[in-house]
Chains A and B, each alone.
Chain A
Amino acid sequence: DAKTTQPNSMESNEEEPVHLPCNHSTISGTDYIHWYRQLPSQGPEYVIHGLTSNVNNRMASLAIAEDRKSSTLILHRATLRDAAVYYCILKNRDDKIIFGKGTRLHILP
């Protein structure tokens, strides 16, 4: 059901930036791009979302390709606490959030 493709896992060193890619080649004009993450033994947590323009918030930045067929979640300075599964989700008008397999991010101390 998920309309996005993400790498199964990624590794990054602590205190370095992390770029998590997501492909969504079948995105429609009304789909928003949402990112959630799930820390171990916790519920999913909203990270960021956007439509066309790049977005920044206190947690991360979202870079959206001009054709909207891909996006990148950027963690500017990863900490051990950022180790989680990151989900890239296209959210349509009926408000159904469909989770894919996500990317498991490992942070190396």
Chain B
Amino acid sequence: DTAVSQTPKYLVTQMGNDKSIKCEQNLGHDTMYWYKQDSKKFLKIMFSYNNKELIINETVPNRFSPKSPDKAHLNLHINSLELGDSAVYFCASSQEVRVNTEAFFGQGTRLTVV
């Protein structure tokens, strides 16, 4: 069983479209995250949710809207896609908001906006 799974793995879409990336974790973790890795390979945190509540929002355009229907899922919806949104998006989860917990990452979703 995959601990943190994301779908789809690849997503190619045109500018202006709206798309969603889904993330599910089966680890029973309370905290979930979205990270973006750009073409220069920098990994940046976008959002963090704890028990379905937003706790971190790192100055991400409001075209990006995370949605957490339950604590096992954190989906990322992106409106009006732009070329600069092309990147690999990683979902992650950790046990709780504690200093010494490890995070588990999904395999990533490669988004290409054309």
Contact = CB atoms under 8 A, between A and B. Distances in A.
A101 B44 CA distance: 11
Q: Is the interface of B mostly helix, strand, loop or mixed?
A: strand
Interface in A5-57: 30, 32, 34, 36, 38, 41-46, 49, 51
Given A42-B107, A42-B108, A95 B48 contact: yes
Interface residues of A, number: 25
A101 B40 CA distance: 10
Interface of B: 4, 31, 33, 35, 41-45, 48, 55-56, 90, 92, 94, 97-108
24 contacts: A32-B99, A36-B103, A41-B108, A42-B108, A43-B4, A43-B106, A43-B107, A43-B108, A44-B90, A44-B92, A45-B105, A46-B104, A49-B102, A87-B43, A94-B56, A95-B31, A95-B48, A95-B94, A95-B99, A96-B45, A97-B33, A97-B103, A98-B45, A101-B42
